[in-house]
């Protein structure tokens, strides 16, 4: 039978166990089989996104500038989206691939919940996200994942090929090195949500001062066990 790209359900291991971190919807290509011809310019990312873990939640902060080469193509781009009842993901990289990845991971999480009558854990969500990136179908996107489950708050960083690690704070995009220095100095264990938000905002504002691909406002996502709340700030002066 010809493969139409859609699967009838989760893949099955040799011992009969369902692979809960595999795709529920599609049979994704192997990255080693992808014949993608991308030059270095295509793979450049331009943005600053950060995630900071607090004592009872996670704060994600991104800038709002989208660039096309040396041109600012948008000043009001939302680079963080909710993908799970208590999780959100930031994006840095190709807009087309990022939009596709966001819709895919959100659909996968919803389908998992419908089929199993329970929400996917944040660790399981991070594994699924890593597997999607590893497929090679979403080059090139570098996300930061933040979420809260019964085990508490979680922040995960990824590389473009699906490698992941759980961190107290994480960054992505061209302003990463500037934001990371601030977070290294500001982060402490058991930060309150307000303290984590202040540190995250300060780190992105610092990156904006030095990274020409970042700017034009901030989007803040506050994630707790109650859900995800968003707020945008177009006037950066009110945050300084």
pLDDT tens digit sequence for 88-117: 999 999 888 999 999 999 999 999 999 999
Provide the CATH number for the domain around residue 122: 3.60.20.10
**Does the residue 15 lie in any domain?**
no
Residue 219 in any domain: the answer is yes
pLDDT band at 67 (very low <50, low <70, confident <90, very high): confident
Within-domain flag for 138: yes
pTM: 0.83
Residue 59 to residue 221: CA distance in whole angstroms: 6
Asked if residue 186 lies in contact with residue 158, where contact means CB atoms within 8 angstroms, the answer is no
**pLDDT tens, position by position, 164-188:** 999 999 999 999 999 999 999 999 9
146 occurs within a structural domain: yes
Structural element, H or E, at residue 58: strand 58-63
Contact by Cβ (8 Å): 45, 58: no
Q: What sections of the chain are H helices per DSSP?
A: 95-116, 122-134, 176-186, 193-210
Query: Looking at the domain assignment, is residue 68 inside a domain?
Result: yes
Q: Is the pLDDT of residue 16 over 60?
A: no
The answer to whether residue 21 is catalytic is no
Q: 45, 47, 62, 77: which is the annotated catalytic residue?
A: 47
What is the tally of structural domains in the chain? 1
The reply to whether omega before 140 is within 30° of 0 (cis) is yes
Q: Does residue 120 form part of some domain?
A: yes
pLDDT score at 239: 81
Query: Within 13 A of 8's CA, how many CA atoms are on the CB side?
Result: 2
Sign of the Cα pseudo-torsion (64, 127, 108, 114, in order): negative
Q: Which residues are 213's β-sheet partners?
A: none
10 Å CB burial of residue 5 (0-12, 13-18, 19+) is exposed
* H/E stretch holding 206: helix 193-210
Residue 99 is assigned to a structural domain of this protein: yes
Residue 79, domain extent: 60-239
Q: Which residues pair with 18 in a beta bridge?
A: 12
d(CA 112, CA 17): 15
Residue 36's pLDDT is 45
Residue 154 lies in a domain: yes
What percent of the chain has a predicted confidence (pLDDT) above 90?
A: 71
């Amino acid at each position: 039978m010809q493969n139409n790209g859609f699967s009838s359900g989760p893949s099955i291991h040799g011992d009969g166990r369902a692979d809960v971190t595999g795709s529920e919807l599609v049979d994704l290509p192997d990255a080693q089989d992808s014949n993608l011809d991308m030059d270095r310019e295509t793979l450049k990312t331009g943005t600053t996104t950060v995630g900071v873990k607090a004592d009872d939640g996670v704060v994600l902060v991104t800038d709002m500038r989208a660039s096309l080469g040396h041109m600012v193509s948008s000043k009001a781009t939302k680079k963080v989206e909710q993908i799970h009842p208590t999780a959100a993901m930031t994006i840095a990289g190709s807009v087309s691939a990022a939009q596709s990845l966001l819709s895919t991971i959100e659909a996968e999480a919803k389908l998992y919940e419908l089929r199993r009558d329970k929400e996917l854990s944040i660790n399981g969500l991070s594994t699924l996200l890593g597997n999607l990136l590893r497929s090679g179908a979403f080059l090139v996107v570098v996300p930061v994942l933040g979420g809260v489950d019964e085990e508490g708050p979680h922040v995960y960083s990824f590389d473009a090929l699906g490698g992941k690690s759980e961190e107290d704070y994480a960054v992505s995009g061209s302003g990463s090195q500037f934001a990371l220095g601030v977070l290294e100095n500001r982060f402490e264990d058991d930060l309150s949500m307000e303290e984590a938000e202040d540190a995250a905002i300060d780190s992105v504002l610092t990156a904006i001062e030095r990274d020409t691909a970042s700017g034009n406002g901030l989007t803040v996502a506050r994630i707790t066990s109650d859900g995800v709340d968003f707020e945008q700030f177009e006037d950066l002066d009110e945050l300084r």
